[in-house]
Amino acid sequence: MSAAPAITARGLRRYFADGQVRALDGVDIDVPAGASVAITGASGSGKTTLLYALAGLLGLDAGRVDIAGTRPHSPADWAALRRDRIGLVFQDAWLLPALTARQNVEIAIQGPRLSVAARRARAEALLRRVNAEGFAARRPAQLSGGERQRVAVARGLANRPEILLADEPTGELDHANSQHIADLLFDLRRSEGLTLLIVTHEGALARRCALQFVMHDGRGGFEARGAAR
Amino acid sequence: MTVLLAGLRNLAYWQPRNLGALLGITIAIASLVALVGLARGVQETLLSALENRGTDVMVTEAGVLDLISSIVPETLAPDLAVAPGVVAVAPELARLTTLADGRSVAVVAWPAGSFPWESLTLTEGRLPGADEGPGSGEGHVVVLGESLARRMQAGIGDRITLFHAPFEVVGLVTSPALLSRSAAYARLEDVQALTFREGQATSFNIQTAPGRAEAAAKAIGARFPDLSVETSAALADGYLFGRIANILAFAISSVALVSSVLVIFNTMSTAVNARRGEIAILSAVGWDRWRIVAMLLIEGSVISMIAGAAGIVAGTLMAQAVAGLPQVVGFVQPVIGAGLLATAFAVSVGVGLLGAFVPAVRAVRRPPADILRGH
């Protein structure tokens, strides 16, 4: 694990309903590069809001986020970070229904120097990496929940990110598929050297992470655990 | 994947949704083309009829709303003929009557051999002679405008009924004016007798020496202050029904344009708003705002262009169909020129793009989390 933090966030605050709902209420977090972190907590504690804030998907009322020493200031800065350094996996996959599995991965592969053929080859390689090559030509509606989630993981890796943020990646899956996706994420973390943040309410998945960041009523902190795996 | 490819793939996939947008815009553009074309047609038909009479000065009863309501004594003709610059005077009696099939037809009557007959171009048969008609022991004769003849399926030698009397068709004529092509023409004394208007006319057509129309109108107006005396050009400009047609055309065109703009904008906005989830995902995977907007504009422009072209075709067909209805045929010919078609296409594409642009910009400005989490 590198000593330089992959993510540093300070004083993250996000209120909803005119301040009645404090989804984030002054959260500080430092995520070491290459670490695996489970963000846990009860429903409504602010787990997903924190993840979205760290990905720049959320407008904050206060606070700042640095990604590998870079501080994004504008939506364009955040878009560039998500394009180059941050991969995202959502709970219900959020694949684009008009596109096939391969095209859903391809759409996240960006870079002006990449030819159409190169993009396609990379998308196919990513689908192979997550054992999804067999349904590359199918649309999301023709895939099971586990298959969709594998495609979503491949899409999250499209631009060789340093950080992968996953929001309840196994939340909608049965035990076997859940286990499979979890294995895949940790395998990728090891092989790609990713920093992995997973929002989860599943104890088993949380325990596989080196660090656990527990959210409670919009506030959070690391729980003392064993060494990072 | 390129922006263009993504846009085209979305178009191919979202067929029902895109068809809805396509249909909405097509209907809006078709309505615009048909309504404006018909409104302009009414205007053009009326003005063209006035401008193609071959008359320099018109004399009617003062203060009447329309030419058919006017009554002037035929005996004024000799007094009008001596006015300075006047070359010829012809009384005219114009009446509306009902055909056997229930449709209305305008019957215009002039003395046989008078100059207004020269405004018509004979395509078949002959014009009525001065020495024929009931007075000479023969029946009534009539000349039909070619549109009317086609509508009635009547030809030379056929007998038709006008004013409950039989008329023999002796000639077919044409004219640049639709109303003239859709009218029937008879001898003045025949129509006067059949409509109980002996000695009366609805107007006088006056032919003047070149460049003397205004002077003649001024002189006649001074001598007969109780009559309305106008040059044909002034009459066409100031004719009440012409003015009403102008106002109607402007009002209908404006309403059609505004409603088209609103329908297209709303249709396109709805189509884009329905895709906020996709927009949020594209943003989440690192597409910048303008790339997403460009993709939506590509989709919007393709839909708008196809719908615009389809709307123009549908609107033209609709206008022609309306003009061919039994109640309308012969009274209006839609005027759908290149200007109207270009305007309709520009409205479709321009408003379609604006309708896509505004909600697209609004959607990309929202933090993706708001959409992904349903806030």
Q: Do A57 and B282 touch (CB under 8 A)?
A: no
Q: Which residue has the tokens 């229904």?
A: A97
Q: Do B1 and A109 touch (CB under 8 A)?
A: yes
User: Residue A178: helix, strand or coil by DSSP?
Assistant: helix
Q: Are B207 and B86 in contact (CB under 8 A)?
A: yes
What pLDDT does B91 receive? 96
Residues 340-369, chain B: which have Cβ within 8 Å of A? 365, 367-369
What pLDDT does B125 receive? 94
Q: What pTM value is reported for the model?
A: 0.70
B286 touches chain A (CB under 8 A): yes
Of A222, A217, A223, the residue nearest A24 (C-alpha): A217
Task: Return the CA Rg of chain A.
Answer: 17
What pLDDT does B239 receive? 64
What pLDDT does A215 receive? 95
Chain A residue numbers touching B13 (CB-CB < 8 A): 97-99
Q: How far is B281 from chain A (nearest CA, A)?
A: 7
Q: Do A84 and B286 touch (CB under 8 A)?
A: yes
What pLDDT does A2 receive? 46
Q: Do B285 and A98 touch (CB under 8 A)?
A: no
Q: Do B281 and A83 touch (CB under 8 A)?
A: no
Residues of chain A under the 70 pLDDT cut? 1-4, 112, 224-229
Q: How far is B353 from chain A (nearest CA, A)?
A: 22
What pLDDT does B265 receive? 84
What pLDDT does B25 receive? 87
Q: Please, what are the averages of pLDDT over each run of 10 residues along chain B (375 residues)?
A: 68 70 87 86 75 82 81 94 93 90 88 91 91 71 93 92 92 89 93 94 93 92 91 71 72 82 83 84 90 88 92 95 80 88 92 88 87 69
- Residue B338's contacts (CB-CB under 8 Å, 6 or more residues apart) are none
Q: How far is A221 from chain B (nearest CA, A)?
A: 23
Q: How far is B253 from chain A (nearest CA, A)?
A: 39
Instruction: Please give the residue of chain B at the shortest CA–CA distance from A119.
Output: B1
- Closest CB to B1 among A76, A88, A107: A107
